[in-house]
Amino acid sequence: MSAKKLLIFNWKMAPDSLKEAISLFERTRTCADKTRNHAETIIAPPFVYLSNLSKVKSSLFGRSPVGRQKSKVALAAQNVFWEDSVAYTGEISASMLKDLGVEYAIIGHSERRKYLSAEGGFASGGNETDKMINKKILASLKAGLKVILCVGEPTQRGQTRTERGLTRNIKWAKNYVKNQLEKDLKNLIQNLKPKTQNLIIAYEPLWSIGTGHSDAPQDAAEMINFIKNILKAKTYNLKPKVLYGGSVNSKNIAKFLKHPEIDGALVGHASLKPKEVKAIIEIASKMC
Ligand code: PGA
């Protein structure tokens, strides 16, 4: 039996109300807690729901049919700031998240990064640079949060224009991801304690996120192997879980998880649909 697969449900900027957030959380955690040999499950709601969901999680006012015991589901923030206090209006620190019982922070999601593609620059979401992402990672680890670092190339392989015309660009994609890892994980080792459990990598090719066009599972496995090899090498000496993300749903998740090197999935849009969530958890649990 292989190691447990890890599922991260990223709600992005949804749902619209606390009532809906509690209902979705309860349905997800009930399903995760009930499923035998369940896959590990992390839920990443918007900041504004974290406090309430943390209380639901410890069943202070939970209504889950599985009873009022502590849930095994963990909470993640979708972002975090690197400074610890005061004059940063609108930002949230790692210690604030820790205090709420949040265990993880997603850092460097493509919807927050500033991207430079082979064909020219384009920005997305929070306009975050690798330098900012590196600061966020170091501050989070120092505060005792676990980090889910998202990396991935912005342009679909096979669409890069070189001096020789359009080429299949797996090599370019690998270089892009290697470069991201090097910048994002700079000065990591002295801050990472204990070593592996505090860092998870999500490989999310930008072109597959929210598009309905997931990567070919074989290609995702190849990239994840590549990432693992980089992190296994002497500079890092790490063996973190590496997940795939990008248009994962109940129809395609098994094709990704059957690859032993893919340790789980980061699920976006499908995480807002309870039936999808149930199916995804059940499928992933069978593959543990
Ligand atoms: P998606 O999002 O599943 O909607 O493509 C993935 C993500 O949030 O990274």
Q: Identify whether 259 is a catalytic site residue.
A: no
Which tokens go with 3? 């190691």
Residue 125: pLDDT band by 50, 70, 90 thresholds? low
pLDDT of res. 258 = 97
Q: Is the CB of 21 under 6 A from ligand 1?
A: no
Q: How much is the pTM? A: 0.91
Contact of 74 with 42, CB cutoff 8 Å? yes
**Mean pLDDT for the chain overall:** 87
Please give the share of the chain, as a percent, with pLDDT higher than 70. Answer: 84
For residue 130, how many C-alpha atoms fall within 13 Å in the half-sphere facing its CB?
Answer: 16
Catalytic residue among 26, 109, 153, 276: 109
Integer angstrom CA distances of residue 226 from 119, 184, 231, 233? 24, 16, 9, 11
Q: 233 CA to middle of ligand 1, Å? A: 29
- Residue located nearest, by CA, to atom 2 of ligand 1: 268
Q: Based on C-alpha coordinates, what's the Rg of the chain? A: 18
pLDDT of res. 166 = 47
pLDDT of res. 159 = 54
Q: Find the farthest-apart pair of alpha carbons in the chain and give their distance in angstroms, rounded.
A: 63
Instruction: Assess whether pLDDT exceeds 90 at residue 36.
Output: no
Q: Identify whether 109 is a catalytic site residue.
A: yes
Residue 61: pLDDT band by 50, 70, 90 thresholds? very low
Q: Is the CB of 10 under 6 A from ligand 1?
A: yes
The Cα 56–Cα 238 span in angstroms is 34
Q: Stretch 263-273: mean pLDDT, rounded? A: 98
Q: 163 CA to middle of ligand 1, Å? A: 33
Contact of 16 with 49, CB cutoff 8 Å? no
pLDDT of res. 84 = 92
